[in-house]
Amino acid sequence: MCGIVGYIGHRKAYPILIKGLKRLEYRGYDSAGVALISDSCQLNVYKTKGKVADLETFVSQKDISGTIGIAHTRWATHGEPCSANAHPHYSSSGRFALIHNGIIENYAVLKEKLQAKGYHFNSSTDTEVLVQLIEYIQSADHIDLLTAVQLALREVIGAYAIAVMDRDNPDEIVAARKSSPLVVGIGEGEFFLASDATPIVEYTDKVVYLEDEEIAVIRRDSPLKVVNLNNVECPHKVQTVSMNLGQLEKGGYPHFMLKEIFEQPACINDCMRGRVNIEGNNVVLSAVIDYKERLLAAKRFIIVACGTSWHAGLIGKQLIETFCRIPVEVEYASEFRYRDPVIGPDDVVIAISQSGETADTLAAVELAKSRGAFIYGICNAVGSSIPRATDTGSYIHVGPEIGVASTKAFTGQVTVLAMLALTLGREKGTIDEAKFVSVVQELQHIPEKMEEVLKLNDRIAELSKIFTYAHNFIYLGRGYAYPVALEGALKLKEISYIHAEGYPAAEMKHGPIALIDAEMPVVVVATQNGLYEKVLSNIQEIKARKGRVVALVTKGDNIISRVADTVIELPAVMECLDPLITTVPLQLLAYHIAVCKGMDVDQPRNLAKSVTVE
Ligand code: F6R
């Protein structure tokens, strides 16, 4: 979703801004723009529909001088993707330029008011209203930019991360946030602004994450000033980010998604580091131990999440119910937040989010908090909004995920959920010692088994060629494999644009079986676990209707291989951890089908990495 970059210092701003926008491309966008106050104190605004590369072409031959600037990638909400709607927006007099991430809900009322005062609008965006409002307020009373921004934001209802520049004061950027992330990077006599730390880490590891309704005033060679809307100074903590540049580059892979699929063995090791002991027979999630009374007292767990993280939640439900004997509900955060749910101090809410910024998940957390529930976060992006809103939690530590389709974050989330269930189950006494040790040992072997699966990459690439014709896919699984089927289907549809549905295998006969014919590929997770025989029957039902079955089976299986059209053999894994293995070939299948179809795998159409609007 929209990306914000800003710079003020002694270097040329333009190259820093463009590089920053490229680092944020993964968030998803449809247009891009940059505003610079030039060396001759002109405000130059350049913007275009399309990619950052298109912006660079558009800007070539233009004045890109200046050591202060703001830049933006836009994911359309109000108004189609086009250069007029792209950010930065500027005020009628051309004095102020502004970039914005979020939604101004009362923009129509504000726009009407400004139009009545003679203001004209060049775009159909909510953002242009804000920059005009700032100019209107500033020019009426000839106040400074900070005061004008404070007064304007007091009139705004909605979510925002903004950065504003004043052509007549090229020494200052004013930035503010509410419900939309904004990070300030602190260098030597210079400052960086961005929606997340990825554009900043190349220059400094010192950052400040702004809190809601905080405003940062950044001036060259001056200390950072943070105030609230009433101009009261806010104490701010300078944090050190540990992200290396290699994590933000493709490292020889054609796409970030493939790199991230291949990183999974290392990521799972990172996720377990310091949590599973060296002997491989104990696991401790410190947050579970620190809050064990509260967690053990819970009558019920509710998992809230969206998309892939919701699929991880479905696996978490089975893990927690199995090992801790606590009832678990899994809710779409977007439904939960508007449902007036029955929830109170006896409940523990687990919020799962890779980005830590998903607006619906954050709102679900706030709602549950307001009803007295205890909130546990499982996130990847360190310092993001959800971990800061929760009572405690565990990071998954899989490093930045750049490909829009989530891969390593999913397996990281499942790994943390497994460690949570094991730690809590042991504290509760609901898992016996032998079972506990065997699951921990199996967990330790997951990375090497994932490596084995990744060796199937070429074979899956070959297999994918057969399926580029398909317009539909069905994915089936039972028990722990059902969420894997959902996740496999989601991966395929989001990057290849092939329609795909995941079902619990036994649900087939209640409707979807009508879809089966010789054209229909059906991917079945059929590894040798508790429901193996049942899944075998489901496969036979599909074959009887001439469906084309691709089955994920356990190595050495010679029963399903006789029935299915194609089998992908996977190492044997204990059922509760099987999703960590069976998900990987489905990620590869989706990836290679999308590549065969020539799709933009890392930035699929219409999708955003960080869904910061509801
Ligand atoms: C799918 C995908 C999305 C996200 C969803 C939630 O590949 O990436 O479905 O899982 O938007 O995002 P987070 O986990 O950041 O809350």
Catalytic residue selected from 22, 178, 259, 609: 609
What's the 551 CA to ligand 1 centre distance in angstroms?
26
Q: Do 529 and 437 fall into the same domain?
A: no
**pLDDT confidence bin for 588, thresholds 50/70/90:** very high
| Residue ID of nearest Cα to ligand 1 atom 3 | 307
- In a domain, residue 180? The reply is yes
- Report d(CA 77, CA 614) in Å as an integer: 11
Split into its structural domains, the chain has a count of 3
Number of residues that this document lists for the chain: 614
| Same domain (yes/no): 220, 298 | no
Q: Could you tell me if residue 613 is inside a domain?
A: no
Ligand 1: residue whose CA is nearest its atom 9:
307
Cα-to-centroid distance, 355 and ligand 1 (Å): 8
Checking if the pLDDT of 181 tops 90, the result is no
SS3 readout for 34-95? EEEECCCCCEEEEEEECCHHHHHHHHCCCCCCCCEEEEEEECCCCCCCCCCCCCCEECCCCC
Q: Are 192 and 19 in contact (CB under 8 A)?
A: no
Closest atom, ligand 1, to C-alpha of 358: 16
Tell me, what's the pLDDT at 384?
A: 87
Are 362 and 386 contacting, i.e. CB atoms less than 8 angstroms apart? yes
Of 431, 453, 475, the residue at which a domain comes to its end is: 453
Distance 307 CA to ligand 1 centre (A): 5
Domain CATH code at residue 515: 3.40.50.10490
308 CA → ligand 1 middle, Å: 5
Substitution candidate for ligand 1 out of 1, 260, 306 with most atoms within 8 A of CB? 306
Q: What percent of the chain has pLDDT over 90?
A: 85
Residue 445 resides in a domain? yes
2 assigned to active site = yes
Question: pLDDT, tens digit, for every residue of 385-413?
Answer: 999 999 999 999 999 999 999 999 999 99
Task: Write the residue with the smallest CA distance to atom 11 of ligand 1.
Answer: 307
CB atoms within 10 A of CB 434: 8
Q: Say if 609 falls within a structural domain.
A: no
Residue ranges around ligand 1 (CB below 6 Å): 306-309, 353-355, 358, 361, 405-406, 490, 494, 611
499 pLDDT more than 90: yes
Q: Do 22 and 598 form a contact (C-beta atoms < 8 A)? A: no
State whether 312 and 441 are in the same domain: yes
State percent of the chain over pLDDT 70.
100
Residue that finishes a domain, picked among 229, 247, 265: 247
The confidence score (pLDDT) of residue 546 equals 93
pLDDT tens for each residue of 208-260: 999 999 999 999 989 999 999 999 999 999 999 877 777 778 888 999 999 99
Catalytic residue among 2, 271, 306, 324: 2
**Ligand 1 pocket test: which of 1, 355, 408, 603 has the largest number of ligand atoms within 8 Å of its C-beta?**
355
Q: Mark whether 350 and 442 lie in a shared domain.
A: yes
Mean pLDDT of the chain: 94
The answer to whether residues 279 and 234 belong to one domain is: no
Q: Which of 216, 247, 278 is the last residue of a domain?
A: 247
pLDDT in tens, 421-476: 999 999 999 999 999 999 999 999 999 999 999 999 999 999 999 998 899 999 99
Same domain? For 397 and 511 the reply is: no
216 and 342 belong to one structural domain: no
d(CA 349, CA 347): 6
Domain check: are 51 and 184 in the same one? yes
Give me the domain span that covers residue 310: 250-453
Is 211 in the same domain as 325? no
With respect to residue 283, please indicate whether it lies within any of the assigned structural domains. yes
Please state the rounded mean pLDDT for residues 116-134: 94
Domain assignment present for 608: no
Specify the ligand 1 atom closest to the Cα of 306.
6
Residue 27: per-residue pLDDT: 79
pLDDT (mean) for 575-596 = 98
449 with 531, same domain? no
Assess whether 464 and 449 both reside in one domain. Answer: no
- Specify the pairing of strand 472-477 against strand 499-504: parallel
Q: Which atom of ligand 1 is nearest to the CA of 609?
A: 8
Residues 509 and 575 in one domain: yes
Q: Are 227 and 214 in contact (CB under 8 A)?
A: yes
Give catalytic status of residue 271 as yes or no.
Answer: no
State which ligand 1 atom lies nearest to the alpha carbon of 404. Answer: 8
Give 483's pLDDT tier (boundaries 50, 70, 90): very high
Q: Is residue 592 part of a domain?
A: yes
The enclosing H or E element of 344 equals none
Q: CATH no. for residue 109? A: 3.60.20.10
- Kindly give, in sequence order, each residue whose CB lies less than 8 Å from that of residue 185, ignoring residues fewer than 6 positions away: 191, 192, 193, 194, 197, 200, 203, 204, 206, 207
Residue 611, pLDDT > 80, answer: no
Determine the average pLDDT of the residues in 253-270. Answer: 95
